[in-house]
Amino acid sequence: VRLESDLRRAVTEESFVLFYQPKLDLETGRFSSMEALIRWPHADGMISPADFIPLAEETNLIVPLGEWILRRACLDAVALGERLGQVPGVAINLSARQFRQAGLIDSVRAALEESDIVPGKVELEITESMVMDDVEAAIKTMQALRDLGVRLAIDDFGTGYSSLSYLKRFPVNTLKIDRAFIRDLTRDSEDAAITQAVIALARALNLHVVAEGVETHEQLAFLGEHRCASVQGFLLARPGPIESMPALFSKTF
């Protein structure tokens, strides 16, 4: 457990790094977007966000930290786009407190303006639990974000407790199938059925669908056969620094 003062100093000094994990578009066989994943470099290695995002939320340091993440990710995507000749999509995770905070819309707008990124290249990832405790307020926030031109994804889909009637009302673009379903996909017929059902649901609702946590060729083959649009996971690429992206984005699968 890190001390609040360490975290506060790290936020002030911006001593974090964003790693990126590319997402493969199964139709083109190429990476077309990437998810930003924050890391806190430390003498003993990288501290996982799982270990400091909760503290950042409790202390409200998530507000300046979240602003830094939004800005850095948009700037990195634009700079990568200059090297690739095309700006990749960039997905950014929002935390619960950040999503409920009144300044979120202004923070997103500021990051878009500062980087001059095409807003449709940015996808914000939220989870079902973040929207379910006040659905009406969440829909307003989601709509305000969509009005800025950014995309919205439901992360870890299938593990929360949103109902399908709400899903219909959420102005989201993408469902990310939680990796808990992908893990045993090729051994567990129920996980396979759930994954197929989510892919079908996404198609029926005109949503993009991403499978996360793809680690084996068998999982990849299953997702290809069932026409999952995009895949993400250690099999294709582990999260890495922005410098490692140009080589990955020039690969074909």
Binding site for Mn ion (CB under 5 A): 93, 125, 155
> What crossing angle do the helices spanning 62-84 and 49-58 adopt, rounded to 10°?
130
- For 35-70, give the DSSP string: EEEEEEEETTEEEPHHHHHHHHHHTTTHHHHHHHHH
Cβ(29)–Cβ(245) below 8 Å: no
Residue 215 interacts with which of ligand G, Na ion, Mn ion, none, CB < 5 to 8 Å by class:
ligand G
Pairing of strands 89-93, 30-42: parallel
Residue 50 interacts with which of Na ion, ligand G, Mn ion, none, CB < 5 to 8 Å by class:
ligand G
Residue 33 interacts with which of ligand G, Na ion, Mn ion, none, CB < 5 to 8 Å by class:
none
Contact pattern from residue 157 through residue 196 relative to ligand G, giving x for each residue in contact according to CB under 6 A and a dash for the rest: ----------------------x-----------------
Pairing of strands 174-177, 208-211: parallel
Tokens at residue 199, please? Answer: 């892919």
Q: Using the minimum distance from each CB to ligand G, give the nearer residue, 34 or 78.
A: 34
Separation CA 72–CA 84 (nearest Å): 18
Residue 37 interacts with which of ligand G, Mn ion, Na ion, none, CB < 5 to 8 Å by class:
ligand G
The answer to whether residue 89 forms part of the interface with ligand G (CB under 6 A) is: no
Q: Which of 22, 88, 158, 239 binds ligand G (CB under 6 A)?
A: 239
Distance of CA 95 to the CA centre of its chain: 11
Closest by CA to 125, choosing from 105, 103, 96, 102, is 96
> At closest approach, how far in Å is the CB of 113 from Na ion?
28
Q: Using the minimum distance from each CB to Na ion, give the nearer residue, 10 or 126.
A: 126
Cβ(154)–Cβ(172) below 8 Å: yes
Site residues for ligand G, window 34-53 (CB under 6 A)? Answer: 36-38, 48-50, 53
Residue 49 interacts with which of ligand G, Mn ion, Na ion, none, CB < 5 to 8 Å by class:
ligand G
Separation CA 165–CA 5 (nearest Å): 44
Closest by CA to 94, choosing from 41, 162, 142, 34, is 142
Q: Which of 156, 177, 220, 231 binds Na ion (CB under 5 A)?
A: 156
The answer to whether residue 67 forms part of the interface with ligand G (CB under 6 A) is: no
Cβ(161)–Cβ(128) below 8 Å: yes
> At closest approach, how far in Å is the CB of 97 from ligand G?
9
Q: Using the minimum distance from each CB to ligand G, give the nearer residue, 78 or 123.
A: 123
Separation CA 24–CA 249 (nearest Å): 9
Residue ranges binding ligand G (CB under 6 A) = 21, 36-38, 48-50, 53, 69, 93-95, 155-156, 179, 212-215, 233-234, 239
Residue ranges binding Na ion (CB under 5 A) = 155-156
